[in-house]
Chains A and B, each alone.
Chain A
Amino acid sequence: MSETNDKGRRSFLAAVSTGWALFTAASVAGLGMCVRFLFPNDTFEPATKFKVGYPDEFAASNAGVVDKRYKTRGIWIVRTLDGFFVLSTVCTHLGCTPNWLETEKKFKCPCHGSGFYSSGINFEGPAPRPLERFKVSLAADGQLEIDKGKKYQQEKGQWDDPDSFLKMEYSV
């Protein structure tokens, strides 16, 4: 085989492999674009940090009075004689929303029957762990402020975290 032929073959192979490499890279990039397209940057969900009113708007009891006004925002506010804590409305079994049954003093999930005390502790049904709590604090204007971005799980010992409970003695 002559030298010129050999060179011709080499440059041909180089061109072909470059072409295939570019084609493969473009295909992978295109596929990556398609996948990335399905993950939106913004989802227009309600803010995870919001105010729910002044502390004296909430009634209290020893075991805690459950305030259902913000259930559509995914929280229950529970007022005990010592202070406030905020429970997530997401059942720890498979993610349905339980109902607060005032006469029976328990949260009851309609999907598979899990039950929780007003403290959030599970006591019946398939739920494997207590309801999660969210951060509650006093805002500068004196209102209660909830931050759903920070959650506290009892089974991880996080309910001892000072941010998971707002200390405030109840006075009539």
Chain B
Amino acid sequence: MSLMKFITDSQIWKSIFRHKYPDNPRDQALAVLSNVFLHLHPIKVRKSGVRMSFTWCMGGLTFFLFLVETITGVLLMFYYRPVVEYAYNDIKALRDHVPIGIMRELHRWGAHLMVITVWLHMLRVFLTGSYKPPREFNWNVGVILLVLTLLLSFTGYLLPWDQLAIWAITVGTNMARATPIMGHEGPGAAFIQLGDVSLVTAGSDVRFGLLGSKTVGAATLLRFYVLHCIAVPLGAGLLIAVHFWRVRKDGGISGPM
């Protein structure tokens, strides 16, 4: 008892926990107020909010999969090199030589699952009418998160650097040629010119910026790696925080109508 008291009276303990044991309303409120993560969580959760048949738990599963992808992804980064000479062999080594040879499979299956859970989450929100005011802002945040999820999927697709990867990204990025104004084969691009010189060409359009060259090559591999591991996850992480916080601000998980 005195040891417990010694610990809870110590400066270290008190600097971490700024309240007493939360068995009364005041300390329960302080427990939430003094925790940054709980600021993102709703103050109260309705009974319907934890009913599986209402939420399908798809938002929670999506977040869980995002965490799985982050952890397995960071682990994969310790072995994988986004360089043409190494990439494919590193992927094979992750299966054949690195301990826990299913780490990449976990990452891959998690990615597939995450796309599915995001869609189902969206379907649930649609079917329960949870996109309606005051939640319309959060619906739009969710739509952006859907796009970021698909972008994570797409950029990760190239990294194995096998035939499937290269041609899938070739086909996928060829669509960017037809971007209005910014793609060199898109509508309006022909009007962007200086005298006789066209400014939007295969070597300067939005697809070129995405690939880092005119065809899928070494520059593209590095670009997609950076997008996959840094840029898109950062954006997604930030918006996930906003997404959760908006759920709290809009009155928690919506109830049945």
Listed in ascending order, the chain A residues whose CB lies under 8 Å from chain B are 35, 38-40, 43, 45, 94-96, 111
Contact = CB atoms under 8 A, between A and B. Distances in A.
Contacts, number: 29
Nearest to B171: A94
Nearest to A39: B209
Given A96-B167, A111-B167, A40 B174 contact: no
A45 B217 CA distance: 9
Given A39-B204, A111-B167, A45 B213 contact: yes
Contacts of B219: 40, 43
B170 A96 contact: yes
Interface of B: 167, 170-171, 174, 203-204, 208-209, 212-215, 217, 219
Given A38-B209, A39-B204, A39-B209, A45 B214 contact: yes
A96 B214 contact: no
Contacts of A45: 213-215, 217
Contact of B174 (A35, A39, A95): A95
B212 A95 contact: no
Nearest to B223: A38
A96 B204 CA distance: 21
Contacts of B170: 94-96
A40 B217 CA distance: 14
A96 B171 CA distance: 7
Given A94-B171, A96-B171, A43 B213 contact: yes
